[in-house]
Structure 1
Amino acid sequence: MNQMLQDAEVQTSQAQATETENAPDTPALPPAVEHPRFAKPQRVAFVQSAWHRDVVEECRIAFLREIEERHITNVDVFEVPGSFEIPLHAQILAKTRRYTAIVAAGLVVDGGIYRHEFVADTVIKALMDVQLRTEVPVFSAVLTPQQFHETEVHYDFFRKHFAIKGVEVAEACANTLLSLERLRGQVAAGIVG
């Protein structure tokens, strides 16, 4: 009887090996990542520039998908005319204390090298000021390409680039909120401070 069981096990192993050898070459999917959960619900404001909306929206779409995987489902989206208007909206939203984080997305182009660099630099500095004044973290996906031409090739490139930035800003947002949640808990417990 033992010999029959052993023979059956050998046949099963051989059949599995044959199936594996004959299986089509499909790439193995990476294992699903289980992201840490928050102790308290998080609410995020996403402030997006309407200028070059078709490009910038790729950031929002990728951000929303990634942030949901990281257990943040309360996201309010706001749209402003251009990137220059983002900091004031971010400050007003931060002062409401309704949001645990604010994410900004915009594409600053046109008007010569000095103008768009000035606008982008001003926006980034203003967002940092909002963050430091209100203690609400502010994340930037406001981008300034060195060269942007109104061609389909550039539009396609920056749509893909903004999708990548959306995932990156979601990761930074979630990780920072987790870190701040931990830090604030330690401060409240008297461990830090």
Structure 2
Amino acid sequence: MKTAKYAFIKVGEQDECVERTFRGFCEVIPHSQVDTFLIADPFSVPILAMDLAKTGYYSAIVVSAMILEDMNFRQDHIAHALASGLMSVSLKADALVLPIVLSPRQGQEAVWQHDDFFDYFLSKGRITANAALNDSKLKFSLPFPKNVVAWLWPVF
């Protein structure tokens, strides 16, 4: 594996749910191996993720966002744009990008602030950390494409 560093992008102004996912993530992967980035606008996240992916420094880039209703955009529009933008980054930059995009249904925002749901966010962070560890190990254990081509069509 090339490095044991992970990027964790927090979307929002210190949202407690996003902080809980980060804490759960750091229960599995030590905080010393995680670089954190805070960004306010969810539409800017794919650009930051692409810049981080281009460095080649991180084993995985994790994005945690809580998408609430907005006056200008529908909640599902924001969540879809964020998820599809991150998928595009992952494919174009050949990087492991793992999103934790949480969007409560209409009127559930107050329910999500309850302590019972905070355990859910901690577990989402732990699950994503385990996925980052396992997926990055798998990704970096695969042979390079040029080696696969050489195996399939050996040059004599």
Q: TM-score range by the shorter chain?
A: 0.7 to 0.9
Normalised by the length of structure 1, the TM-score is 0.68
Q: CA deviation at 1:111?
A: 3.3
**Identical-pair percentage:** 28
Give the letter for the 1:155 counterpart: Q
Deviation per residue, 1:151-185 (Å, 9 max, x gap): 3x430244222211101111111111110121036
Q: CA deviation at 1:92?
A: 1.1
Deviation per residue, 1:25-67 (Å, 9 max, x gap): xxxxxxxxxxxxxx54322110001246112100001101112
Aligned CA RMSD, in angstroms, stands at 2.6
Q: Match for residue 143 of structure 1?
A: 102
Distance in 2 between residues matched to 1:173 and 1:99, nearest whole Å? 11
Q: Gaps (5+ residues) in structure 1?
A: 1-38
Q: Gaps (5+ residues) in structure 2?
A: none
Larger radius of gyration: 1
Q: Match for residue 124 of structure 1?
A: 83
Normalised by the length of structure 2, the TM-score is 0.82
1:43, 1:98 within 8 Å by CA — same for their partners in 2?
A: yes
**Structure possessing the higher relative contact order (Cα contacts under 8 Å, 6 or more residues apart):** 2
Distance in 1 between residues matched to 2:51 and 2:3, nearest whole Å? 21
1:148, 1:154 within 8 Å by CA — same for their partners in 2?
A: no
Residues 1:180 and 2:142 are matched in the alignment: no
